[in-house]
Amino acid sequence: MRKRHCLNLTGQFFCLLFLLVSIIAPCHGQEKLPEIIKKVQPSTVLILTYDEDGKVKAQGSGFFISKNGDIITNRHVVEDASKAEIKIGQGKVYAITGIVAEDKEYDLIRASVDIAPELVNPIKLSYSIPEVGERVIVIGSPLGLEKTVSDGIVSAVREIPRFGKIIQITAPLSPGSSGSPVVNLKGEVIGIATFQILEGQNLNFAVPSER
């Protein structure tokens, strides 16, 4: 009888332990998100472009890729601009001085910025394609609202004819989100927010960072 009683107690203990683990695990995951956001936010920039008359032509998002001040964004964000600059917060603005590299097919561009290295916080890139269901965070400047955070999952990885591989995400994108980093829970960039299908809900797409 004692053995049976002990077994029952043991079973109750393991049930309690399982419940505690189930409760603690989600909390730990939630605590990790703010840490990732704090780590990535300083690396993101608001991009402003101007026409020949000095009027704002377009705006978008981008992020630092190297300590020398190079940024990554979508090519269409700076296309046909007479002048472009970045804003990193607190009203600090720095000029985009040139194009380092571009990929017209994937709508990507790497540009150099005239900024002191100590003000730059580059993000690490992931060179592997994320798994469907993987959680992701997008940090950008939709409608000029700097450092805006949205989250979701990778809902699909697709091959689009004459374009190539593209990552479909559920994290919301808005005008001005183009060029935002899409990061995983390690704080690594897995893609660059590029476009959305307006007719569909949560049909948002990112170019893989492996490009």
User: Would you name the residues annotated as active-site residues?
Assistant: 76, 107, 178
Separation between Cα atoms, residue 126 and residue 50, nearest integer Å: 32
Number of Cα atoms under 13 Å in the Cβ half of residue 149: 14
As a 3-state breakdown, the chain gives helix, strand, coil percent values, each rounded to 5, of 25, 40, 35
* Sequence letter at residue 62: G
Q: Taken in order 206, 196, 85, 76, is the CA torsion positive or negative?
A: positive
End-to-end CA distance of the chain: 67
